Amino acid sequence: MSPAGRATARSWLIWLTAVLVYLLAVFHRTSFGVAGLEAADRFGVGAAALGTFTVLQVGVYAAMQIPTGVLVDRYGPRRVLLTAVLVLGSGQLLLGVADTYGLGLLARGVLGLGDALTFVSVLRLVAAHFPGRQYALLTSFTSAIGYVGNLAATVPLTLLLDGPGWTFTFIAVGAVTLLYAVPVALRVRDTPAGEPEPVREAVRPAQLGRAVRAAWSVPGTRLGFWVHFSTMFAPNVLTLLWGVPFLVQGQGLPAATASALLTVFVFGSMAGGPVLGALIGRRPSLRMPLVGGYLGGATVVWAVLLGWSGPLPVGVLVPAFAFLALGGPASMIGFALARDYNPLDRVGTATGVVNVGGFVATTVTALLVGVLLQLTGGDFRLSLLAVVAVLALGTWRMLTWWRRARAHLFAAEARGEQVPVRIRRHRWDRLPEPVRLAA
């Protein structure tokens, strides 16, 4: 399933063209973070209704991941990326002219749909154009470049909203996104030079179900799902919705300070992603120990954040957020597992399955925190225990499937099959045979 052993300049150009679509998608995804006050005035709604924008968009994104993976495998990443650019641009144009709450929700739903089509497509191109040893590194660089879009959706977008205003800003960024369809159409190709385009069949509901079941039946895919679920949701919950309220209302910090503290997540992920990708690219056997180390450290961080007596000092918040920020890069390990344990023609589907994990966890946790805030009268320490509960669930399931995936790997090795990673057997690897695939 490996592509050619060496990436060409054409492969790098294809990846760069495609990854800029992902940058645009992250920009559109996070643009509402600085437009919240303007949206409240424009649509005449309160905080609860504003939260619906985020939950809707993340929910659409999560719901579309498996269909996106199947579409990428059937129609190719180039067509899906083109569709993503057109949908994203149209969504922002609609948001620019929206003057009612319902129309604004529709626009954010359209943006969530376009966003959902991007990341899996880019990773499918990486799997096709680059050797396996570079997959983790390119995945991390893809994620890091996405955070540039996050940064562009802070100060630059704020200046545009304060200057030309809502309508001009969102129509302009929507138009730029639509125009980017031209380089995508001209530069992106599904296969390396010299290789024929695969014959693709129409997607039928029965085939879709079989493709998803086939990917889900692989223990490596299941492990990737729970890795993604348990590592990336907490940073998302803080940066997309509850971080600023926690710091302002729960810790008494000024809004400007709270916003500045959230940039620690952006810079931490941008710095940690390539380092982690390079490390596991050279030593794939370190992937799961690093995930386990992150989850153990995150448990300690949350114990400090929620158990601290009195307001948390900035000197504690900065290193705590910097460590939690590594959850984004760590979640990329889930995609490497999907790539390693599935044939190339099913990598898109498996990647979509894995990508559902973190966004389902994000949506559920964001809703739980909101419900608990209402029930406790705004007690953030009690409400954020929802994060700890979901973290515990994800860690338990991740450990379960780690053991099962290892047993599956040892069994394949004993049959003389080629395995993607060679690992050492430990006493705790002794599992009853056959390995059960029940969730």
Lowest average pLDDT, out of 177-181, 211-215, 353-357, 383-387, goes to 211-215
| Dist CA 127 CA 336 (whole Å) | 10
For 97-122, what is the mean pLDDT? 91
**Is it the case that residue 139 has pLDDT exceeding 50?**
yes
DSSP annotation of 433 reads: S
pLDDT tens-place string over residues 193-206: 766 565 555 556 66
The answer on pLDDT for 20 being more than 90 is yes
Global confidence as pTM: 0.76
- Mean confidence (pLDDT) of the chain: 83
Which two tokens mark 362? 């994000």
Tokens describing residue 104: 């604004």
Whether residue 174 has pLDDT greater than 90: yes
For the stretch 63-95, what's the b/e string if a residue is b when 16 or more beta carbons lie within 10 angstroms of its beta carbon? bbbbbbbbbbbbbbbbbbbbbbbbbbbbbbbbb
Per-residue confidence (pLDDT) for residue 2, from 0 to 100: 41
Looking at the predicted structure, is the pLDDT value of residue 394 above 60?
yes
Q: Which of 368, 363, 358 is nearest to 388 (CA)?
A: 368
User: What's the CA gap between 281 and 136, in Å, rounded?
Assistant: 6
All structural domains of the chain: 8-190 (1.20.1250.20), 210-415 (1.20.1250.20)
Residue type, 362: T
Please give the share of the chain, as a percent, with pLDDT higher than 70: 86
Average pLDDT over residues 212-225: 87
pLDDT band of residue 434 (cuts 50, 70, 90) is very low
Could you tell me if 27 and 173 are in contact, meaning their C-beta atoms sit under 8 angstroms apart? Answer: yes
pLDDT at 75 over 50: yes
What is the rounded radius of gyration, in angstroms, for the C-alpha atoms of the chain?
Answer: 21
Angle (deg, nearest 10), helices 385-414 and 219-237: 160
Question: Is the distance from CB of 356 to CB of 62 less than 8 angstroms?
Answer: yes
Q: Which of 247-256, 291-300, 324-333, 392-401 has the lowest mean pLDDT?
A: 247-256
Q: How far is CA 128 from the centre of its chain?
A: 20
CA atoms within 13 A on the CB side of 325: 23
